[in-house]
Amino acid sequence: MSSKLAELNAWVAHYADLTGADRVHWCDGSEEESARLVELMLGSGDLIALNPQTHPNCFLHRSSVSDVARVEHLTFVCTANRDDAGPNNHWMDPEQAKAKMAALYKGCMKGRTLYVVPYCMGPIDSPLARCGVEITDSPYVVANMRLMTRMGAAALARIEREGTFVKGVHSTGDLNPDRRFIMHFPEELGIQSFGSGYGGNALLGKKCHALRIASWQARQEGWLAEHMLILGVENPQGETHYIAAAFPSACGKTNLAMLIPPQGYREAGWKIWTVGDDICWMRPGADGRLYAINPEAGYFGVAPGTSAKTNPNALAMLTHDAIFTNVAVTADNQPWWEGLPDGTPVADWQGRAFDPANGPAAHPNSRFTVSARQCPSYTPMAEDPQGVPLSAIVFGGRRESLVPLVFEARDWTHGVLVGAGMASETTAAATGAVGVVRRDSMAMKPFAGYNFGDYFAHWLSFDKPGAKLPKIFHVNWFRKNAGGKFLWPGFGDNMRVLEWMIKRVKNEVPGHATAIGILPGEGELNRDGLNIDAADLQALLHVDTHAWRTEVGAIADYLEEFGERTPAALFEELDKTARQLV
């Protein structure tokens, strides 16, 4: 045994002893292993087989009623220096956190199997990829990690070659919300999770590794780990431009990643290719461009609202080989959720006879897990070891007023400011108060593994001699008129905005310079077949000088929350915008 594997074996042995696990199983990722685990979970009730005619090899998992989402208030970044975690994270002293977790882990796997899950985030032979090992007592987690990562023997072989991996420990424990913690130790590349079986808390390759730990790693190593989709836009000439985009929740991220262009665009030969819908790792290439990979191999998507109307590509990949979590079922045992036009739920997400008085049939955060290869817009470039070159980076939020449909940042520094200040407004349905602005820098507020001030400085550091950085844009699909009606149709018609961005990348249109950035000029947005009048389009592209002066002040107040670590360049850029708002 190599010394590198000896270290891994010693680590596994330590936790097998601490947790009192009855058995230790090293996962190889094979079809045979997967079939055995499925049989095990069908027998225990962890999985329920769905209709084999309509949904072959699809299964339903029902989680504990108190374990249905990420728990940000119980998620900690444990750095030796509290300021390194920053005010954007909950912090705990690393030694205190380890002691707390060791007490919880003691004997927690008695009567259970400890699964050792070696995995690779990113194409297995990519220099941009990074490996990890998750210890877990949940076969449901193993099944999901197999779909979400490159899991098994190939990952273990890479770990043996490199010797470096993120160490993740997870136990569902007793699912007691009062004994639930997700701890991150970025300085040691470690994660410890206890008391939850929910994806974001238990699939440690996802938010825990691919964002919180990887963002720290990326800063040390000179790359970026971001909460972004990656899509390719192929034009009729056969050129493909790749775009990464960051949006807070409820802003149509997966829908954009799997966009289907309007009919006129399709007939002309335009195509959209999906590289990823959630996470993007990017680093400078030898030619100065940023190259991106999707570290994930699958989708852990929100089911409610997914339909043939909103996202036909997502719906099309869910007819076979998928795991559904906390959805409802119909009388003939098909998965069902709010937003589907057909079918009638007979059992809700808790397995009770469906009664509208109990709330929605499917939990609002119910999920599907499926291989990315099943998406109709999947591109083999998702497995390219070198990644795809980025032409543009897009930030966006949900704003009923103020923010235009699209604008381009003046340069990289201004683009970092645009991302740092991005925000979404809450809705009455979610909070009981309309229009409360919540800042969510780069859509990373819950996921950046270190101080946002340092994070902004890291972004700025990429602008150096020889860099050929992507243009940065901001979009807002959600602007409304005085009557509360959306001005922009969204969905497939967002293709028109992507086309304008590519024209700007290729310097084919001049745009219209304003104080906040460059907007589409007269006639630059393709309106063929678009049911929108000139007045609405003008409103979509209007810059309210007075309102933007207020916004500049609000962004300044927000950036000051990160103290002296906030780069002075961002305040200078804000001042530049303020001086032009006359």
What is the predicted pLDDT for the residue at 427? 55
Q: Are residues 246 and 391 in the same domain?
A: yes
Degrees to nearest 5, angle at CA 568 with 567 and 572: 130
Identify the residue whose tokens are 């043939």. 308
Residue 59 inside a domain? The answer is: no
pLDDT at residue 249, as a whole number? 81
Binding residues for GTP: 250-255, 367, 398, 491-494
| CA dihedral for 207, 213, 217, 222, sign (positive or negative) | positive
- Total residues found in the chain within this entry: 582
Say whether both 258 and 321 belong to one domain. no
For 95, how many CA atoms within 13 A lie in the half-sphere containing its CB? 2
Q: What is the maximum alpha-carbon separation in the chain? A: 72
Question: How far is 84 from 87, CA to CA, in rounded Å?
Answer: 9
| Dihedral sign from CA coordinates of 540, 546, 550, 553 | positive
Do 462 and 438 belong together in one domain?
yes
C-alpha–C-alpha distance, residues 348 and 355, integer Å: 8
In a domain, 438, yes or no: yes
Examine the domain organization and report whether 398 and 440 are in the same domain: yes
Residues 357 and 332 both lie in one domain: yes
pLDDT of residue 434: 59
Closest C-alpha among 435, 386, 176, 355 to residue 281? 386
Q: Where is 369: in which H helix or E strand?
A: strand 367-371
Please indicate, yes or no, if residue 429 is contained in any of the structural domains: yes
Q: Which of 215, 368, 212 is nearest to 303 (CA)?
A: 368
Surface-to-core class of residue 290, CB atoms within 10 Å of its CB (0-12 exposed, 13-18 middle, 19+ buried): buried
CATH of the domain at 327: 2.170.8.10
Question: Digits of tens for pLDDT over the chain (582 positions)?
Answer: 577 789 999 999 999 999 999 999 999 999 999 999 999 999 999 999 999 999 999 999 999 999 998 899 999 999 999 999 999 999 999 999 999 999 999 999 999 999 999 999 999 999 999 999 999 999 999 999 999 999 999 999 999 999 899 999 999 999 999 999 999 999 999 999 999 999 999 999 999 999 999 999 999 999 999 999 999 999 999 999 999 999 998 788 999 999 999 999 999 999 999 999 999 999 999 999 999 999 999 999 999 999 999 999 999 999 999 999 999 999 999 999 999 999 999 999 999 999 999 999 999 999 999 999 999 999 999 999 999 999 999 999 999 999 999 999 999 999 999 999 999 987 544 445 657 889 999 999 999 999 999 999 999 999 999 999 999 999 999 999 999 999 999 999 999 999 999 999 999 999 999 999 999 999 999 999 998 989 999 999 999 999 999 999 999 999 999 999 999 999 999 999 999 998
Bridge partners, 75 (sequence order): 182
pLDDT at position 431 is 40
> Does 58 fall in a domain?
no
Secondary structure (H, E, C), 102-168 = HHHHCCCCCCCEEEEEEEEECCCCCCCCEEEEEEECCHHHHHHHHHHCEECHHHHHHHHHHCCCEEE
What is the token pair recorded at 209? Answer: 């590794």
Supply φ then ψ for residue 377, to 5 degrees: -100, 15
The annotation places the binding site at 70, 198-200, 207, 227, 249-255, 278, 365-367, 398, 491-494
Choose one of 348, 374, 400: the last residue of a domain.
Answer: 374
Report yes or no on 119 lying in a domain.
Answer: yes
The answer to the question of residue 407 being in a domain is yes
Is residue 56 situated within a structural domain?
no
Residues 262 and 354 in one domain: no
Domain tally, the chain: 3
CATH number for the domain that contains residue 418: 3.90.228.20
Looking at the structure, do residues 35 and 175 belong to the same domain, yes or no? yes
What is the domain extent for residue 166?
3-44+75-221
Residue 428's pLDDT is 45
Please state the residue numbers annotated as binding site for Mn(2+): 207, 227, 278
C-alpha angle with apex 436: 490 to 304, nearest 5 degrees? 45
Predicted confidence at residue 430, as pLDDT, reads 45
Q: For residue 251, indicate whether it is catalytic.
A: yes
Asked if residue 67 is part of any domain, the answer here is no
CATH code assigned at 169:
3.40.449.10
Provide the annotated binding site for substrate: 70, 198-200, 249, 365-367
- Residue 339 — φ and ψ, nearest 5°? 115, -20
User: Do 511 and 518 form a contact (C-beta atoms < 8 A)?
Assistant: yes
230 shares a domain with 209: no
**Which pLDDT belongs to residue 4?**
75
Amino acid at 12: V
- At residue 1, the pLDDT reads 58
Instruction: Tell me which of 326, 349, 374 is where a domain ends.
Output: 374
Question: First and final CA of the chain: distance in angstroms?
Answer: 70
Residues 175 and 90 in one domain: yes
Catalytic residue among 108, 251, 280, 375: 251
Q: Do residues 433 and 303 both lie within one domain?
A: no
Instruction: Indicate yes or no: pTM above 0.95.
Output: yes
Domain boundary among 174, 204, 221: 221
Phi, psi of 544 (to 5 degrees): -85, 105
Half-sphere exposure of 218 (CA within 13 A, CB side): 29
Note whether 289 and 319 are same-domain residues. Answer: no
Shared domain for 194 and 120, answered yes or no, is yes
